[in-house]
Structure 1
Amino acid sequence: MLVSLLAFLMTLLGGVAAMRVRDNRHLVLGLSGGLMLGIVAFDLIPESLEMTRHSPFGVPAPMIGFAAGFVLLHVVEQAVAIHRAHEDEYAPHVHAHGHGAGQAGLVAAFALVVHSLLDGLAIGLGFQSGTEVGTFVALAVIVHKFADGFNTVTAASLNRADRRPAVVLLFANATAPVAGAALGTLVRVPEAVLGPYLGLFAGVLLYLAAAEILPEAHSLHPRVMTLCATGLGLAAVLLVVGLAG
């Protein structure tokens, strides 16, 4: 529980950092997009494939979850956009895509909260296996919670002037590891379930990064600095994963 409190603080620090640099929003979005791509490529997908070898129809279960997560967020965004398009018949100045992107951002931010709950659960389960294993798992969780907080605020703020949803979801994300660690001392979750879930979560993050965050980052600002911010995000995750491994 004490270790999970460090994850709580790191998540808050990441969220506050995202809020403080909103004057350079294109750089924040570029960095967040890089962090998300790095987490998907260097962390979630490899970990999910290690957790389960089950392959329905000859395809690894996590990759089926990955495709489902990508399509899920796409369907959410398109459903909202279609709804707003019908409203535009009566209110022509409402922009459907912006509203849909905002809803997709909230869905992704909520997915980050669920993932943080599982991070805390992993800490609890790790300490069930022994102090050494628990410490290693806890350190791996703590070092990427800053990125989780940063990405939660960025996703929840996408195409939104109101910061309240971002603040609420940031606090939920920060407290989720504490709740998960408490739960992890009581229950055990099969890796056969966690593997496909991680794939699903990776698909959600990839869609948000590729379809919403990075296009928005490059829409009105110089591309070189934004590309550098994205590369920095990728490099940072690669470094963290390498150190944790």
Structure 2
Amino acid sequence: MELIQVLIALFLGSIGSVALAGVMFFLSDEKLNKVSTYLMYLAGGTLLGAALLGMIPKALTLESPEIIFPSILGGILFFFVLEKIILWRSCRNKNCERHMNAAAPIILIGDAFHNAIDGVVIAASFLTSTEMGVFVTLSVILHEIPQELGDFGILIKSGFSRSKAFWFNVLSGASAMVFGVIAFFTLDKIQSLIPHALAFSAASFLYISLADLIPEMHRKTKLNDSLRQVILVSIGISVIYLIINTK
């Protein structure tokens, strides 16, 4: 039964997120922009809540702070370097055209790696508890959909058709299924790895929310935009809090 739950969660967090993003990609530009923006705000809250209210506290019940916090710090540094090397999103110099031509394979490789980590995160969370598995999966879905929408746009600008961009994203998303299943069977046998996996996963969530999502939110400074951001981030945190405390 536990394996079935993990498989469903892995599907929803990877292929399901790509499919939802693909469906929304056919909305009008105005509606698509609003939906993806609101999902980004909500994801900022769920990622922070999952990391700080669920994953880190649980990891600390399994291992000492002297072990967990260095693991979190190492994870944050890892994702910083990873984003520098692989998750290359911007184009800010005179060689911009060359960068756009190279963007598609970089995006696909980076997403495959990122989705593989998401798969490990989901598997480790379900091995800890069903409740943690649920809110981690929810957090993954909410931050993956806006990211996939952005990736669709980059692939299409690089010359992909909409259908080709969709299926390549599905392929990169499938890495979550593969590595999630591997993690499920290996982590279950090596219990000592679970607190480290939770700490590393929390680092991933913290990095995405603090280094990517929140700086993006600060681009909008109008009062109405700021209020929406505060409300949706708070809702995201509240949802995680309620899931954790609902028995």
TM-score norm. by structure 2 comes to 0.68
Q: Measure, in 2, the Cα distance between the counterparts of 1:27 and 1:179.
A: 33
Code of the aligned partner of 1:152: E
Q: Which residue of 2 aligns with 1:110?
A: 116
Return the match for 2:244 from 227, 237, 241: 241
* Higher mean displacement: 223-232 or 28-37: 223-232
Q: Which residue of 1 aligns with 2:144?
A: 152
C-alpha change, 1:104 and 1:64, in structure 2 (3 Å) is farther
Q: Which residue of 1 aligns with 2:43?
A: 32
Percent identity between the two aligned chains: 13
- CA contact under 8 A between 1:33 and 1:214: conserved in structure 2? yes
RMSD (CA atoms): 3.8
Where do 1:5-16 residues align within 5 Å?
5-10=4-9, 12-13=11-12, 15=17
C-alpha change, 1:79 and 1:31, in structure 2 (3 Å) is same
The count of residues paired between Structure 1 and Structure 2 equals 216
Q: Which residue of 1 aligns with 2:162?
A: none
- CA contact under 8 A between 1:218 and 1:226: conserved in structure 2? no
For 1:94-148, what per-residue CA distance to the aligned partner results, in whole angstroms no more than 9, with x for missing partners? 58xx99x96876654332111123345x27xxxxxxxxxxxxx335424543333
Q: Measure, in 2, the Cα distance between the counterparts of 1:93 and 1:170.
A: 26
1:234 Cα shift?
0.5
Q: Which residue of 2 aligns with 1:74?
A: 80
C-alpha change, 1:21 and 1:231, in structure 2 (3 Å) is farther
- Tell me, what secondary structure is at the counterpart of 2:210? helix
1:241 Cα shift?
0.8
Where do 1:210-225 residues align within 5 Å?
210-220=210-220, 222-225=225-228
Q: Measure, in 2, the Cα distance between the counterparts of 1:164 and 1:52.
A: 41
Where do 1:197-208 residues align within 5 Å?
197-208=197-208
Q: Measure, in 2, the Cα distance between the counterparts of 1:223 and 1:19.
A: 28
- Tell me, what secondary structure is at the counterpart of 1:146? helix
Q: Which residue of 2 aligns with 1:127?
A: none
Q: Which residue of 2 aligns with 1:52?
A: 63
Where do 1:88-167 residues align within 5 Å?
88-91=93-96, 94=99, 107-119=113-125, 122=127, 137-142=129-134, 144-158=136-150, 160-161=152-153, 162=155, 163-164=166-167, 166-167=169-170
1:154 Cα shift?
3.7
Residues 1:226 and 2:232 aligned together: no
Q: Measure, in 1, the Cα distance between the counterparts of 2:6 and 2:138.
A: 8
C-alpha change, 1:226 and 1:210, in structure 2 (3 Å) is same
- Tell me, what secondary structure is at the counterpart of 2:219? coil
Q: Measure, in 2, the Cα distance between the counterparts of 1:18 and 1:160.
A: 9
1:230 Cα shift?
1.0
